[in-house]
A and B are shown apart, each in its own frame.
Chain A
């Protein structure tokens, strides 16, 4: 009798948690996702958050070391950049290529602080795998692993020469 009077708290709380999770899932699928499709302007907080997440994911997945480059660094990198990166990331790496500012999230300014702070291995991983649900393609089909380090070197060159 005594025990019944003080019934345990957890069934009620658990039911509430499940209910909360279900409501959140339905909201996510049918309200948040459609809203995301029409979302156009990122605030400061959203930008910091995404940059943090990209940095996190890149550092978790980046290889221990880069593969040995197959071609002379800068020249091969320059060609690859002009052919496949510049259309979004721009002539100077500032993110103002043809499609850079009209896609969302916009193309990263490769000469900005965030991009400078990423390690070579992190940039390598991002180029190879792309970033899902952004416009960044994964280039593993276009480029061999050994070709990507040249591209990374060229990005460093852009960061060095372009202010």
Chain B
């Protein structure tokens, strides 16, 4: 008799908990804005648990260092590896984690949970393999995307190396011009090809590395448009690959039209 009541109560308790979670906890989570110390601690613990369980014992070693330009993506010099890490960080991480890795990027403090301070003890304590796994797979129900479809493993390895550099204060970020109001104004998905291309350019975050009109320093400058399709579809060291699901062939043509308006590419 007693055990029947206990069981009935137990089931009732589970049902109550499920209803509370579905109808109270999750709406409350959507409006939750301030993270307290306990929550922070618990979040770190959960992430740590998941990363430890899923990460391998080590991250893939960078491809054997070769000469610059030797056989495309396969072999890379130390300089190319460092640049790949720097460029990928600039394009895909800095917006939230900040140029210095302190989590104070433009959007890093505006999401819940906030972007991790990559120079914190918690991030330092993660193994390379754990960071590698987090970057590739992302963390659901946080703002951290998974980059497995954007970058080949060697770029992710280069990224981890760059993050270690940030932690040691040795990384050297590159400064790229930010868009002006006029440049942002020129985007219009229903406009002419160059305006449509501008909308794609900003939506795919090209400006973060290449500058709003392609005038970024050094190899990040967009000077040669002849290999645009190849670069977009197959990526470059530190540059994501964009499949047709993200930039379709029409949009690629629009992009080209926009890039033809860049100061470095205007027809004489």
Contact B112 A25 (CB under 8 A): no
> Of A9, A21, A37, A92, which is in contact with the most chain B CB atoms at under 10 Å from its CB?
A37
Nearest 6 Cβ contacts at the A-B interface: A16-B9, A20-B13, A12-B5, A24-B17, A137-B110, A102-B145
Contact A20 B17 (CB under 8 A): yes
User: What mask results when residues 15 to 34 of chain A are scored 1 for a CB within 8 Å of chain B, else 0?
Assistant: 11111111111001100011
A14 at interface (Cβ–Cβ under 8 A)? yes
**Distance between Cα atoms of A91 and B149 in the complex (Å):** 20
Contact B9 A40 (CB under 8 A): no
Taking a contact as CB atoms closer than 8 A, the residue among A34, A81, A91, A102 that contacts B138 in the complex is: A102
Contact A82 B6 (CB under 8 A): no
A146 at interface (Cβ–Cβ under 8 A)? no
Across-interface contacts of A142 in B (CB, < 8 A): 106, 110
Segment from B122-130, B188-196, B223-231 that makes contact with A: B188-196
Across-interface contacts of B11 in A (CB, < 8 A): 16, 20
Contact A133 B10 (CB under 8 A): no
Q: Specify the main secondary structure of chain B where it touches its partner.
A: helix
**Distance between Cα atoms of A97 and B95 in the complex (Å):** 14
**Distance between Cα atoms of A90 and B205 in the complex (Å):** 10
Interface residues of B in 111-144 (CB under 8 A from A): 111-113, 137-144
The residue of chain B having its C-beta at the shortest distance from the C-beta of A96 within the complex is B246
A2 at interface (Cβ–Cβ under 8 A)? no
The answer to whether A34 and B46 touch (CB under 8 A), given A20-B9, A102-B138, A103-B138, is yes
The residue of chain A having its C-beta at the shortest distance from the C-beta of B96 within the complex is A137
Across-interface contacts of A13 in B (CB, < 8 A): 5-6, 8-9, 12
**Would you give the shortest CB distance from B268 to chain A, in whole angstroms?**
29
Contact A133 B187 (CB under 8 A): no
User: What mask results when residues 155 to 193 of chain B are scored 1 for a CB within 8 Å of chain A, else 0?
Assistant: 000000000000000000000000101001101111000
The answer to whether A130 and B202 touch (CB under 8 A), given A16-B10, A38-B140, is no
Contact B141 A19 (CB under 8 A): no
Contact B141 A91 (CB under 8 A): no
The residue of chain B having its C-beta at the shortest distance from the C-beta of A161 within the complex is B190
Contact B30 A132 (CB under 8 A): yes
The residue of chain A having its C-beta at the shortest distance from the C-beta of B13 within the complex is A20
Residues of B within 8 A of A (CB): 2, 5-18, 21-22, 26-27, 29-33, 42, 46-47, 49-50, 53-54, 92, 95, 106-107, 109-113, 137-147, 149-150, 179, 181, 184-185, 187-190, 196, 198-200, 202-205, 240, 245-246, 251
> Of A98, A104, A138, A161, which is in contact with the most chain B CB atoms at under 10 Å from its CB?
A98
**Distance between Cα atoms of A59 and B179 in the complex (Å):** 35
Q: How many residues of A contact B (CB 8 A)?
A: 69
Across-interface contacts of B13 in A (CB, < 8 A): 16-24
The answer to whether A132 and B32 touch (CB under 8 A), given A17-B16, A102-B147, is yes
**Distance between Cα atoms of A6 and B107 in the complex (Å):** 63
Contact A16 B5 (CB under 8 A): yes
User: What mask results when residues 112 to 155 of chain A are scored 1 for a CB within 8 Å of chain B, else 0?
Assistant: 00000000000000000111111111110110000000000000
**Distance between Cα atoms of A131 and B50 in the complex (Å):** 23
**Distance between Cα atoms of A34 and B42 in the complex (Å):** 11
Contact B14 A24 (CB under 8 A): yes
Taking a contact as CB atoms closer than 8 A, the residue among A16, A40, A57, A96 that contacts B12 in the complex is: A16
Across-interface contacts of B2 in A (CB, < 8 A): 12
**Would you give the shortest CB distance from A76 to chain B, in whole angstroms?**
9
The answer to whether A79 and B29 touch (CB under 8 A), given A24-B13, A91-B199, A133-B141, is no
Across-interface contacts of A93 in B (CB, < 8 A): 189
Contact B203 A87 (CB under 8 A): yes
The answer to whether A12 and B149 touch (CB under 8 A), given A21-B16, A86-B203, A103-B143, is no
**Distance between Cα atoms of A161 and B189 in the complex (Å):** 9
**Would you give the shortest CB distance from B162 to chain A, in whole angstroms?**
19
Contact B205 A97 (CB under 8 A): yes
